[in-house]
Amino acid sequence: MENFSNGDEVQVVLEDKAIHGKYVENPDRNFVSIKLDSGYNIGIEKKKVRSMKLIKKFHAVLQKKEAVKEEKGKKKIVILHTGGTISSAVDYATGAVTPHFTPEELVAMFPEIKSIANISSRLIGNMASDDMRFAHYNLMAREIEKEVKNGADGIIITHGTDTLHYTSAALEFMLENLPIPVVLVGSQRSSDRGSSDAAMNLISACLFIAKTDFAGVSICMHKGIDDTMALVIPGTNARKMHSSRRDAFKAVNADAIAEVDCHSGSVNMIHGSYKKAEKRALKVLPFKENLKIGIAVSHPNMFASEILAFEDYDGLVLEGTGLGHFPISEIDEYTKEHKKIFSAIEKIARKMPVVMALQTIYGRVDMNVYSPGRKMQDAGVLGNFSPMTPETAFVKLAWLLSNHPKDVKKLFMENLRGEIVKRVGVQEF
Question: Active-site residue among 223, 240, 250, 396?
Answer: 240
Exposure on the CB side of residue 110, measured as CA atoms within 13 A: 28
d(CA 201, CA 215): 19
Question: Active-site residue among 35, 82, 85, 91?
Answer: 85
Q: Is there a catalytic annotation at residue 162? A: yes
d(CA 376, CA 86): 43
Question: Active-site residue among 65, 74, 162, 255?
Answer: 162
Q: Is there a catalytic annotation at residue 161? A: yes
Q: Would you call 110 exposed, middle or buried from its count of C-beta atoms within 10 A (0-12, 13-18, 19+)? A: buried
Question: Active-site residue among 82, 161, 163, 212?
Answer: 161
Cβ-based neighbours of 260, under 8 Å, separated by 6 or more = 204, 205, 207, 208, 220, 229, 230, 231, 232, 266, 267, 268
Q: What is the 3-state secondary structure (H, E, C) of 94-120?
A: CCCEEECCCHHHHHHHCHHHHHCCEEE
Helix locations, 260-370, DSSP H: 304-308, 336-351
Q: Is there a catalytic annotation at residue 85? A: yes
3-state helix, strand, coil in the chain (%, to 5): 25, 25, 50
Q: Kindly list the catalytic residues.
A: 85, 161-162, 240
